[in-house]
Structure 1
Amino acid sequence: MMIGWSQFSEFSHCIEASKNYQNTDHISEINESSIQDCSDACQSNAECDHGVYLSNLRQCILKDKKGTSVPTTNNHLFTIPKLCVPGCSMDGTDYSGHNIMSFDTHDAFECQELCQANPDCVGVVWIRPYHSFRPRGCYLKRLMNVANQKSLAGTISLPKYCLNSHKAQGSFFVFEDSAYQFIGEKMSFSQARQTCRDRQGSLASMETKEEYLFIYSAILQLNVFNSTTFSGNYHIGLTKHIDG
């Protein structure tokens, strides 16, 4: 379905195919546009919440909010949210419960910054301005479990740290003074340890709480956006020795 849109591929996790939203108002329509044009137009319009792109007509419709989601048989229809952080933002997603505290913030990124300043926060759920329940509400979470993930129009979820902000050379990510590589292969503990040694590294030991929270954020993103490759158990550099 994304054929011909390779320039948009890193944002493909945000695009909803054949899914429309009721109870919304049109802001404007743009003809002879591409899906990238549609995304750019929504980004530059303060009232826009998402764009609806009709690929067969090359038409973009900007909308101001999301109501009830409605599946459609039109396989030329694509919904594009205004906010999309590659491999990080979860549009229309909620993680209920496990709240630390809540605030009112201007946008989801301000909400995420509050999470980064809180030592117990693992991620946030932010509520869009048009939502009937606490518009612009920012909820800091002490737990975000993929199993408890649910759809809720008008919300955006973000982990504490977005991996794309820590991208280094190749497949490495940098946090504080360390570089990390996440390998999506099933291995025993000894195999994983040797694989790290072969790459002149070691299994992560998570020596500080912030390091733990960074890895927590990374695993959440990998499980959500690369679930066929990254799921299940992970090996870390800890062993237990029992004397006697």
Structure 2
Amino acid sequence: ESHCVQKDVVYPEHVLEELEDVSIEECHEACQNHPNCDHASFSSEDDDCILRHKKTYSTQAPDYYSIPKDCIPRCSMDTVDFAYYDIGGVNNIDSLEDCHALCLERPNCFGVVWAKPWLDLQEAKTCWFKSAFRIGSIRELVFGISKPRHCLHSLEQTDGWYRFQDKNYMFIAQTNLYETGMAICKSHGGQLVSLESQEEYMFVRTIAFTLNYHRPNEFSGSYRLGLYKNDSAWTLSNGQTLNQPQINLWCPNEPSSSLSYTHFQLWNGNGFCGDDITSVHITENLVCEASSK
């Protein structure tokens, strides 16, 4: 259950469509896929779902959940494991939150998979650290639960900008080249994101993953950041030279281009890590930044 779901509440009338024998996740997804849906009403007693196009007044309704279309799920993923990208683990960790806290202490930890206590499982309460989550490497793990380093639901949001540390970030699903990406960000009062630390990079990576995972009908593909190579120097959109030793940017075997002028993308195909691309390569999404001061 997400923080934005209202329990025991229904907003009557304004019905678009009714669905039977669905889960609450399927109900929410149906609303997200319907162009006119504002929210959904889900009955946990009957597994029925009603898509509605607006809210007027609310009533109390036991065993019903009201789910806004743009509701962001909590970012833990039950019975989900991400294959590969292991960077160690710790035994006898009592909870997912304790496991996640250990991830935050490791600068290259993208997320965790924690083994819940389950029957006489030998691996129970083991915390595995991952350097990436790749959507194409998802596998079911009955006793597992996964969580990325950063979560959308915990961020302060204003007009599409998410606040993290001393910046605001906007993730936009719009195809772009570098110049058009800069123009799009400028139209929103920002610029393509300039990476200043490993933690900022991990934040951008994990939020990009979260959007692609939870909102695939809106976000898919790779993300453009404000970073390009001119001759041998990688330059940020703010004009500064990237301090590469401080940020672990690249996917394995990247950068691979011998061209003197290339751009950077977060490549969704390899766990949202860095990939160098030509200047005419179109990316599907972009990340803008603006000062929060």
TM bucket (normalised to shorter chain) is 0.5 to 0.7
Instruction: Give distance in 1, aligned partners of 2:118 and 2:24.
Output: 20
Indicate the larger mover: 198-207 or 210-219.
Answer: 198-207
**Residues 37-186 of structure 1 mapped to structure 2, 5 A cutoff:** 53-55=44-46, 86-103=73-90, 104-130=92-118, 132-186=121-175
CA distance in 1, matches of 2:105, 2:175: 34
Give the superposition deviation at 1:133: 4.0
The structure in which a higher percent of residues are strand is 2
Q: Return the offset for 1:185.
A: 1.7
Deviations 1:186-209 (A, max 9, x none): 222221110111122110122211
- Give me the whole-angstrom Cα distance separating, in 2, the residues matched to 1:208 and 1:222: 22
- How far has the Cα of 1:35 moved from its partner? 7.0
C-alpha distance in 2 between matches for 1:110 and 1:173: 25
What SS does the corresponding residue of 1:238 show, helix, strand or coil? strand
CA distance in 1, matches of 2:109, 2:93: 16
In the alignment, the residues of structure 2 paired with residue 234 and residue 106 of structure 1 have an alpha-carbon distance, to the nearest angstrom, of 35
* Distance of 1:199 and 1:16 partners within structure 2: 32
Cα-Cα RMSD: 2.9
Structure 1 segments, 4+ long, off by >6 Å, are none
Range moving further from structure 2, 164-173 or 207-216: 164-173
Amino acid of the residue matched to residue 94 of structure 1?
Answer: D
* Separation in structure 1 between the aligned mates of residue 100 and residue 170 of structure 2, nearest angstrom: 24
Q: Determine if contact 1:167/1:173 at 8 Å carries over to the other structure.
A: yes
- Could you tell me how far apart the structure 1 residues matched to 2:126 and 2:133 are? 17
The alignment's TM-score, normalised by the length of structure 2, stands at 0.54
Aligned twin of 1:195? 184
Q: Is the 8 A contact 2:111 2:149 kept in 1?
A: yes
1:218 is matched by which residue type in structure 2? I
C-alpha distance 87-223 of structure 1, shift in aligned 2 (>3 A): farther
Structure 2 stretches of 5 or more lacking a match? Answer: 8-22, 27-40, 49-71, 233-259, 261-293
Q: Which deviations, in whole Å up to 9, do the C-alpha atoms of 1:49-88 show, x marking residues without a partner?
A: xxxx54169xxxxxxxxxxxxxxxxxxxxxxxxxxx8241
Q: 2: distance between equivalents of 1:216 and 1:191?
A: 21
One-letter amino acid of the counterpart of residue 104, structure 2: Q
Q: Secondary structure at the match of 2:185?
A: helix
Q: CA deviation at 1:15?
A: 4.3
Give, as a single letter, the amino acid of the residue that structure 2 aligns with 1:109. Answer: E
Task: State the identity as a percent.
Answer: 30
Q: Is the 8 A contact 1:87 1:221 kept in 2?
A: no
Matched to 1:205, the amino acid is S
Look up the SS of the partner of 2:154 in the other structure: helix
User: Matches of 2:143 and 2:46 in 1, distance apart?
Assistant: 24
SS in 1 for 2:213: helix
* Counterparts of 1:201 and 1:171, CA distance in 2: 12
Where 1:136 maps in the other structure, the secondary structure is coil
Q: Hey, what does 2:201 align to over in structure 1?
A: 212
Greater CA drift, 234-243 or 134-143: 234-243
Q: Distance in 1 between matches of 2:122 and 2:219?
A: 34
Instruction: Give the unaligned 5+ runs of structure 1.
Output: 1-5, 9-13, 18-33, 37-52, 58-84
In 2, the alpha carbon distance for the partners of 1:174 and 1:16 equals 27
Aligned in 2, Cα 1:35/1:106: closer, same or farther, shift over 3 Å? Answer: farther
The Cα shift of 1:115 comes to 0.5
Q: Which residue of 1 aligns with 2:273?
A: none
Residue type at the aligned position of 2:207: A
Q: Which residue of 2 aligns with 1:79?
A: none
Kindly tell me the number of residue pairs found equivalent between the two proteins: 177
